[in-house]
A and B are shown apart, each in its own frame.
Chain A
């Protein structure tokens, strides 16, 4: 295998560079949990996972459910996803993280 081919394999197999990050969350709409994104799918995503995770954390703190049941306006299952809607590991731990984790 030539060096160039080896480097190509590395870049395809190991280097996974998302083109951007969004906060994915769920909220109650007409009794159903609806998945939404911020910034929206039609808007430009954020370019920093650190910034997006901070944004997700603040969003989850601001909309934390006070009771066990999910009320309208509560944002639950707040996490960070990449441009392909794949969950991004929390940069601090290297593991998946979900804020305000709730099941209906």
Chain B
């Protein structure tokens, strides 16, 4: 009990002697924190206009933020009488220690297989990574929804990162009727792919006969395109193929079935077996 009373007395004495300085230091700290937060936000907005990579912008802004935070802490500590020399040395030691730990243990820390801005498929979600934190990843799907996916689920599951490889193969499968000109159809598909400026010349576009199916001959066009242009190119190649087939009078196949009526069969049977009359 006496200990506690003496502690309170000591605190009271400290407040009497350095109360004003402590309040000013606290105000510097609070104002500095707000200023740092505002500065990081403003810096990110300004940098985003000049630097396209969101991750780079984030790194630069956060580095400036950490520096400002250090200055605020030092200024606040100096207000209550701390000497700047040892304080700066202490902060430097802490920063270097943290950097050292990160460098040494980085290979052991599980990293997410994408960066901010990448187009990915995670847990059946196709979209763009907007941000990553220690706990979750913010993904914006192409229909405008924002999902917060737990990193644990990402690390345990399969992730497709469409930025990992520069190019991607486009599949252009069509089925034509058996009575159509197969070679002409192949030529049209190959021309459609070859003439498109976005289709890469190496590997060259190819057309294969994939299947002699129930309803028609299935042809498969294969070509390569830069990943960023994949979706639009695929859609436009399909559109071009349909229109060019129409222009060249090549008919697509569709599921069909020939049905013979029983009466027709019997009539045909009778006609075949009836004695010929001369």
Contact = CB atoms under 8 A, between A and B. Distances in A.
A94 B247 contact: yes
A92 B247 CA distance: 7
A91 B250 CA distance: 16
Contact of B201 (A15, A19, A47, A48): A15
Q: Which of B195, B199, B201, B239 has the most CB of A within 10 A?
A: B195
B236 interface: yes
Contacts, number: 42
A86 interface: no
In this complex, the interface size class of chain B, counting residues with CB under 8 Å from chain A, is: 10 to 19
A18 B195 CA distance: 8
Contacts of B201: 11, 15, 17
Interface string A41-68: 0000001111100000000000000000
Contacts of B232: 48, 51
A3 interface: no
Contacts of B244: 91-92, 94
B198 interface: yes
B229 interface: yes
Interface string A2-33: 00000100010011111111000000000000
A16 B240 CA distance: 17
Nearest to B192: A91
B16 interface: no
Contact of A50 (B199, B204, B239, B247): B239
Contact of B195 (A16, A20, A93): A16
Chain A interface size, under 10 / 10 to 19 / 20 to 34 / 35 or more: 10 to 19
B240 A50 contact: yes
A48 B195 contact: no
Contacts of A18: 197
**Most chain B CB atoms below 10 A, which of A7, A16, A92:** A92
Contacts of B233: 48
Contact of B194 (A14, A21, A47, A49): A14
Contact of A92 (B197, B204, B243): B243
B197 A49 contact: yes
Contacts of A11: 201
A43 B244 CA distance: 31
A49 B236 CA distance: 9
Interface of B: 194-199, 201, 204, 229, 232-233, 236, 239-240, 243-244, 247
Shortest 3 CB-CB contacts between residues of A and residues of B: A92-B243, A50-B236, A17-B197
Interface of A: 7, 11, 14-21, 47-51, 91-94
